[in-house]
Amino acid sequence: MNLHLNLILESEKRSGASIRVWFLVRLVLILVPAVLLLYSAYLAYQMITLRKETDHFRELIAARQEQMTLSAQIAKQKKTYEDMLSQIHDWAASRLPVADRLDAFRLTVPLDIQLTSLRLTRTIRYTNSMPVAIYALQIRGKTRGEESELTVDQFLTRLRQTPGLASDLESAQVPPGAFLQDREPGAHPLDRVFLLECLFKPLGRTTP
Amino acid sequence: MSSASLSTRSSTSWRLVAYTVGGALLLIVLVIVTVILVGRRNTALAEREQVRQDHDKIQAEILALPALRKSRDEIFLRLRERTEPHLLFHRYRNYQLTARDRLLPLAAASGLRGEIAREAAPIPMPIAAPSGPKKKPAAKPRTTETKGRATDAENPVSLTYELYPVTMTASGSFAAVVRFLRAVETENPLVTVTELAITSQPKTPEEHRISISFLWPIWKDLDLKPKVQDLIMPIITFPSEEESAEKTDDGTDASSP
């Protein structure tokens, strides 16, 4: 029969583990704050350095203020000159070379037709907020003979086909009711008067 | 169990509790301080980055200054070349005299006998709307330049140029008109024919009645004319868009010569 006699008090009992809880608590309470303190010191140092760098850059910027102002003024001046140039280019681009068109037009008039008036007008129309020039030509004339309608048709065809004119024309027509008998006193019964309307293609920049 | 050992045990556990609580509080304080410092460091870092970027941008602009100056000068020269010989200049604020002096010799050389009508008021030059959202929609789609003010208040007009209307009445042949217009158009790429009327006269078949209206660009304000001095001291003021809009809205533009 074995007799087990326990002579150790409860308070004298020790853990079998190699690391004690109390030791761990002390270690954490010293180590973690120490690490945090070191990290805080590093952060503070970094902040001071960053502020110094920021101030340095600000000083450099302030020292270049005059050059910056000059650069901004030159850029603004360049933009203004570009706008001025663009406006004058746009204006020139909306011009119809009238002399060339009239010269080309002269060759289209058949011998049987006598022109009584010619009127060219220019209007401005806005396309995509861009001003474009529209030229319209109104021609009044007289012709005689039983085939005067054919003569006017021939005139119209020539207008639409003449190089230097045809490419610029958007439309050319004798409006309804614009081919009439001449009612002037002393006019021959076969005398006819007509009105011919030509519209030129828009001139000018149409895209911004 | 003795009373001494009981007291030792009790003080040990109180010490343990005190250390733990104190340590935990210290830890919390340190964590809060660290978090605040991290936040401030990040702010300082962002601020430094921003200022550094600004500095780099400014540095690049300053380095590009000679090239900017050169391109500005090139545009200035092109503008001068385009405007100097072709825009109409006034003589004692009278454009009609200058127009006469420039057009009538060409007319005479072409075989036209003509006269320039009296002084007329300049009209605004229509220009393309600046890109971006439009402030006001266009009310009228069409305008006639030769009849009064050229553009609606909604349609932008040039702040730099205006158009001087020159009306010429003449008599001569069709061929003479073509010769005259060719001479004008060759000499000046900016003068634009806005209206042309040729009417035959039954009594003189070779002589027609001719009326020609031109629009000739002029400087709206001679102070805006590019000058070489501006290249040396580029401090120039231009009227703002708002000022221009106000002027055209109420039609009281006082800058006409």
B235 close to A (CB below 8 A): yes
How many residues in total does chain A contain?
208
What is the pLDDT at residue B201? Answer: 85
Q: What is the mean pLDDT of residues A20-49?
A: 87
pLDDT reported for residue B167: 93
Contacts of A124 (CB under 8 A, 6+ apart): A131, A132, A133, A134, B126, B142, B143, B144, B145, B150, B151
Find where tokens 């102070």 sit. B223
pLDDT, greater one: A139 or A129: A139
At A33, the amino acid letter reads P
pLDDT: which is higher, B249 or B53: B53
**Distance, CA of B102 to CA of B89 (rounded, Å):** 11
Instruction: Identify the band that residue B153 occupies on the pLDDT scale cut at 50, 70 and 90.
Output: low
- Would you say A134 and A125 are in contact if contact means Cβ atoms under 8 Å apart? yes
Q: Could you give the CA distance from residue B7 to residue A163 in angstroms, rounded to a whole number?
A: 124
* B60–A contact, CB cutoff 8 A: no
Q: Which amino acid is at B82?
A: R
pLDDT of residue B3: 52
Q: How far is A195 from chain B (nearest CA, A)?
A: 14
Nearest to B9 among A11, A92, A116 (CB): A11
Shortest CA distance from A140: residue in chain B: B199
* Beta-bridge partners for B18: none
- CB contacts, 8 Å: A88 with chain B: 79, 82-83, 161, 190, 217
Cα-based distances in Å from B213 to A93, A127, B142, B144:
18, 24, 19, 13
Instruction: Return residues 93-122 of A near B (CB < 8 Å).
Output: 94-100, 102-103, 106, 114-122
**Interface contact A81-B126, CB threshold 8 A:** no
Asked if A71 is an interface residue toward chain B (Cβ–Cβ < 8 A), one would say yes
Helices (H), B111-255: 174-187, 228-232, 241-250
Which of A1-5, B144-148, B235-239 bottoms out in mean pLDDT, i.e. has the lowest?
Answer: B144-148
Which residues does chain B have within 8 Å of residue A85's beta carbon, measured at their own beta carbons? 75, 78-79, 82
Tell whether A195 is within 8 A of chain B (Cβ). Answer: no
pLDDT of residue B235: 53
CA gap A99, A22 in Å, rounded: 109
**Count of other CB atoms within 10 angstroms of residue B22:** 11
What is the spatial distance between Cα B46 and Cα B38, in angstroms, rounded to a whole number? Answer: 12
pLDDT of res. B36 = 95
Among B93, B145, B100, which Cα is nearest to B118's?
B100
Q: State yes or no: pLDDT of B20 exceeds 70.
A: yes
Q: How far is B221 from B244, CA to CA, in rounded Å?
A: 13
Q: Which residues pair with B195 in a beta bridge?
A: A121, B213
Q: What is the Cα–Cα distance from B157 to B125, expressed in whole angstroms?
A: 5
CB contact under 8 A, B128 and A131: yes
Q: Which residue has the higher pLDDT, B248 or B94?
A: B94
Name the one residue in this structure whose structure tokens are 């081919």: A179
Nearest to A78 among B27, B71, B181 (CB): B71
Chain A interface includes B70 (CB < 8 A): no
The predicted pLDDT at position B169 comes to 93
Q: Residue B253: pLDDT above 60?
A: no
Which is more confident, A158 or B237? Answer: A158
* Contact residues, A window 131-150, toward B, CB-based 8 Å cutoff: 131, 133
Residue type at A14 in one-letter notation = R
Strand pairing class (A179-181; A169-173): unpaired
Give the model's pLDDT for residue B247. 44
User: What's the rounded mean pLDDT across residues A49-57?
Assistant: 96
| Residue B132 confidence class, pLDDT cut points 50, 70, 90 | low
Rounded to two decimals, what is the model's pTM?
0.74
**To probe the interface with A, which of B11, B57, B58, B142 has the most A CB atoms within 10 Å?**
B58
DSSP bridge pairs for A194? A141, A179
Q: What is the DSSP string of chain A?
A: ---------GGG---SSSS-HHHHHHHHHHHHHHHHHHHHHHHHHHHHHHHHHHHHHHHHHHHTHHHHHHHHHHHHHHHHHHHHHHHHHHHHHT---HHHHHHHHHTTS-TTEEEEEEEEEEEEEEETTEEEEEEEEEEEEEEESTTHHHHHHHHHHHHHHSTTTTTTEEEEE--TT-EEE--STT--TTEEEEEEEEEEPPBS----
CA separation for the pair A186, A18 (Å, rounded): 140
Q: Is the predicted ipTM greater than 0.90, yes or no?
A: no
Q: Judge: A116–B200 Cβ closer than 8 Å, yes or no.
A: yes
A7-21, A89-103, B194-208: lowest mean pLDDT where? A7-21
Q: What is the pLDDT of residue B233?
A: 67
Q: Given a cut of 50, is residue B135 above it in pLDDT?
A: no
| A118, β-bridge pairs | A139, B198
Mean pLDDT of chain A: 88
**Would the CB atoms of A129 and B134 count as touching at under 8 Å?**
yes
Closest chain B residue to the Cα of A115, Cα to Cα: B200
Q: What per-residue confidence (pLDDT) applies to B234?
A: 62
